[in-house]
Amino acid sequence: MTTRHFRVWRGDDQGGALTDYDVEVNEGEVVLDIVHRLQATQAPDLAVRWNCKAGKCGSCSAEINGKPGLLCMTRMNTFGPDETVTVTPVRTFPVMRDLVTDVSFNYEKAREIPAFAPPADLKPGEYRMQQVDVERSQEFRKCIECFLCQNTCHVIRDHEENKAAFAGPRFFIRAAELDMHPLDARDDRKEFAQEEQGLGFCNITKCCTEVCPEHIKITDNAIIPMKERVVDRKYDPLTWLGRKIFRR
C-alpha cells in the first residue's frame, strides 16, 4: 500500500475546480478503484458514472492526466511513483456534476440515423447471411458507446458550433455498418453520411481511432471507405445514371 496524490475536478454546470486528495493505492488497482476509495473515505458526494468495471459498459469515460480513457481500464501502475494523477470529466459534453457529463448529444445523433431497412418482400428464412458479410461489420459491433472518440474529435471538442452538423466518429461507424449490410435496402447511407451527418468535416486526423478502447479502426475501416465511395458515386457518370434509372 502507498499513498498517492490525486487531483479530481469537482463542480457542476456553474463551474468548479480541481480538488487535491491523498489516497491509498494498492497493487493491481485501476483509477476507478481510487475514485471509489475517495467516495468511501473523503468525498462521499463525488459523482462518477460507472457500471461494469470491466471496460464493457462504456460508462466511466473521463480524462486522466489530460488523456481520454476509461477509468476502469487505466491501471495505476502506468503512472510514475511520484506522479500526480489528475482526473477530469470529458471535455466535449456539458458537465452535470464532478465527473459526470451529459452525453445526450450522442443519443440525439443516434436517433437521426435512418433505421436498418430490410427489403419489404423478404420472408423470414429466405436469405442466408454469408460469413464474409458478418465479418465485414463485426468490428463495428464491438462499440461500447463510451463516446471517447466523440470526445476526442477536434471537430466538436472545442467547437460547440459544429455539433449541429456533425454526428461524429461513433456514428460514422454505424453508417458504415449499415452500408455494408447486404440486406439494407436503403441505397443512400453514404449520401446521408455526407450531407446529414457531416462526414465532410472529418479530415482523417485519426484521433478517434487512437482513443477507442475496443481498438476499432474507425478511420481506416469506416470513415475513409465511406468517403471514397461518396466520391466514386458522385463523380462517376455511369453510376449516377444507373442510380437514376434503377433506384431501389
Question: 50 vs 93, which CB is nearer to ligand FES?
Answer: 50
Among ligand FES, ligand SF4, ligand F3S, none, residue 3 binds (CB under 5-8 Å by kind): none
**SS3 for 175?**
helix
Residue 53 makes contact with ligand FES by CB under 6 A: yes
Least distance CB 26 / ligand F3S (angstroms) = 36
Specify the DSSP class assigned to residue 171: H
Q: At what angle do helices 131-138 and 169-180 cross, to 10 degrees?
A: 170
CA distance 220 to 233: 19
The DSSP string of 52-115 is -SSS-S---EEEETTEEEEGGG-BGGGS-TT--EEEE--SSS-EEETTEE--HHHHHHHHHSPP
146 touching ligand SF4, by CB under 6 A: yes
Residue 149 touches ligand SF4, criterion: CB under 6 A:
yes
The residues binding ligand F3S (CB under 6 A) are 152-153, 155, 169, 202-208, 219, 223
89 binds, among ligand SF4, ligand F3S, ligand FES, none (CB under 5 to 8 A by kind): none
Which one of 5-13, 113-121, 130-138, 210-218 is the stretch in contact with ligand SF4 (CB under 6 A)? 210-218
